[in-house]
Homo-oligomer: A and B are copies of this chain.
């Protein structure tokens, strides 16, 4: 099949019916990325943007697109990587981050669980706790990202969540009956606490497979490995279901996100504001008296002994 520009198509976008050559495909992704930022007012000229980068496809494509955008639309850009301490995984992905930042001439900051909390994720996982490594990791990662983005003077923390991630989480929260979390995951998490750096997700309307294709077509080297810790069975079921529905009815993931975005203003008004306070221990934003991270660290301290 041919692209409308006359070149050979490399991709068929089922949900729009377009056949695209690699150049038109890349252009369409950059345009979509810019549209998401503009339509949702995700950033302003002169902003300091810190991009969370793991070394996987999503975050490296985001970094690449942000760099490309920064050449036209003036803002400061740096990268922040969290080293959770997962041997055989994160140590292999960080070189991808370093190479990308060096190629793109972007300042890179690396923070680790070990230096921040005294424990690596491998050590936490060795407790074999009922919560599982992923629960600790999620809480710790969000905490460090926010804290260090703030220390770096960030106006916005950019995250690489794609359409698949977003639609999966929407459905997961719905099926879990988790309304308050459902109200806290929109396009643009507005200022809810003076220490909270608003997170933006400029890839949230772009399907995962288009991110992969964009990386390949644009020579962005990324780490293909998946984290060795427990793939979440619940998410796997949701992913399979959404992929099946998208296959049968192209546009399903976009429709789910659209529904959520139309509900979001209602949800956000009602659930978010009163729920964010300050942790009585560390002073970071928290939804209860002490933040989840402090609670978890206390628990880990009891089980593993105090960190050095």
Spell out A's residues near B (CB within 8 Å).
171, 173-179, 182, 233-234, 237, 241, 244-245, 248-249, 252, 254-256, 258-259, 262-263, 266-267, 270
Contacts and interface: CB of A to CB of B under 8 A. Distances in A.
Contact of A248 (B237, B254, B267): B237
**Interface centre among A182, A245, A248, by most B CB within 10 Å?**
A245
Given A174-B259, A237-B244, A266-B267, 7 more contacts: A175-B245, A175-B255, A177-B258, A177-B259, A179-B263, A237-B245, A263-B267
Nearest to A246: B175
A266 B175 CA distance: 19
Contacts of A179: 259, 262-263
Closest 10 CB pairs of A and B: A177-B255, A266-B266, A179-B262, A177-B258, A241-B241, A177-B259, A174-B259, A175-B252, A179-B259, A175-B256
Contact of A234 (B178, B182, B249, B254): B249
A241 B262 CA distance: 25
Nearest to A180: B262
A182 B175 CA distance: 16
Count copies of this chain in the complex.
Answer: 2
Contacts of A178: 259
**Interface centre among A177, A248, A258, A259, by most B CB within 10 Å?**
A177
Contacts of A182: 259, 263
A107 B241 CA distance: 45
B245 A176 contact: no
A125 to B, nearest CB: 24
Nearest to A260: B174
Nearest to A244: B237
A111 B237 CA distance: 44
9 contacts: A174-B174, A174-B256, A175-B252, A175-B255, A179-B259, A179-B262, A179-B263, A266-B266, A266-B267
Nearest to A233: B248
Contacts of A176: 255
